[in-house]
Amino acid sequence: MTYLIIVAVLLVAELLYFRIADKCNIIDKPNERSSHSNIVLRGGGIVFLIGAWVWSIFYGFQYPWFLAGLTLVSVVSFIDDIRSLPDSARLVVQFIAAALAFYQMDILHLNLWWVVLLALVVYVGITNVYNFMDGINGITAGYSLSVLIPLMFINNGSMYVDSSLIIVSILSVLVFCFFNFRPKGKAKCFAGDVGSISIAFIILFVLGSVIIKTQDITYLLFLIVYGVDACLTICHRIMLHENLGEAHRKHVYQIMANELKIGHTTVSSFYMVLQLVISLAFIYLIPNTALAHWIYLAAVLAVLGIAYILFKKKYYHLHEEYLATLDN
């Protein structure tokens, strides 16, 4: 009954936000780098932040520092959705927010300062990768479900975090899915930076808690599909001498949706199912030993990396043809 009430609250909150966004003209206008062609409300992913607050109200403020960090980074991201902020300002806030989450996880120890610093860079880096990958209908919501569901399964047996946090996060994603996981041109809203950044922050807090308590960094495999696409695309753009700060359409999912004309929901579902299969195989089929985990991680990395390269070799020329039309 509590979860049903929370779903109702989140649904009402999302609908109220739509009225505010429409009145305040918080919209996403398409440009030549976009994967959509019509004006859509931006910032619907604010429901992820609202979900975290609603969870705290119903289940007690168990993780106040995490909630503070999430709120800080979400508010700044929402402001950036409305009016662009300097990259430096956003990064400073993201590092502060990550430090608050680390304080909640009790890993801010001076004797391990270099480990903490590296972890902060990884935390903020993955958060921004999640934001980079938010480019078509349903991909942020679908992929988030493919990460949260396995986290829920492994958490049920060991209670790395309060399970209700994961469940409410899943419910908030499902509410967002109702308005966003739709074919091209049919989405009611986009997640915006506030959505992709906030759900990444929540996922990394849960995943980080798992890694800390298991002392097993291979659980980062729960994010490997996004990781391979984002990292290899960055490498590709560096090879092309491009400005990494400029918008682009070079991710595999973007070429699938734009040049190959595969439906947004189909592409999003593919990424979701692929990550879900990899994660569930890791949980239920791979022996729970360090060696087995590392071998599986290396194998998955190799397969996904090779698949990425082969895909780009076969279809990237279509994107070059698209870029040529822009020059003309």
- What would the pLDDT profile of 136-168 be if each residue is shown by its tens digit? 999 999 999 999 999 999 998 788 999 999 999
Instruction: Check residue 31 and give its pLDDT.
Output: 52
Give the per-residue pLDDT at 214: 92
Looking at residue 159, what is its pLDDT? 87
Q: Is 25 left (phi over 0), alpha (psi -120 to 50) or beta?
A: left
Q: How far is CA 136 from CA 44, 143, 180, 199, 284, in A?
A: 14, 12, 9, 16, 31
Query: What tokens does 171 get?
Result: 């419910």
What is the full DSSP assignment across 276-314? HHHHHHHHHTS-SSHHHHHHHHHHHHHHHHHHHHHHHHH
What is the structure's pLDDT at 113? Answer: 80
Q: Which residue has the tokens 């909640």?
A: 104
- Provide the pLDDT for residue 25: 84
Cβ-contact 194, 81 below 8 angstroms: yes
Residue at 195: amino acid letter: G
Per-domain residue ranges for the chain? 2-327
CB contact at 8 A, 73 and 79: no
Interior angle at CA 244, CA 276 and CA 123, nearest 5: 45
CB burial of 132-163 (b: ≥16 within 10 Å; e: otherwise) equals bbbbbbbbbbbbbbbbbbbbbebbeeeebbbe
CA distances from 148 to 51, 140, 151, 164, 204 (A): 14, 12, 5, 12, 10
> What is the distance between the terminal CA atoms of the chain, rounded to a whole angstrom?
59
Q: Could you say which residues of the chain have pLDDT below 70? A: 29-38, 110, 327-328
Q: What is the pLDDT of residue 33?
A: 53
Radius of gyration of the chain (CA): 19
Go through the chain and tell me how many residues it has.
328
DSSP H stretches of helix in the chain:
2-23, 46-59, 64-82, 87-104, 113-132, 139-158, 163-180, 192-214, 224-239, 252-258, 264-284, 290-327
pTM of the predicted model, to two decimals? 0.93
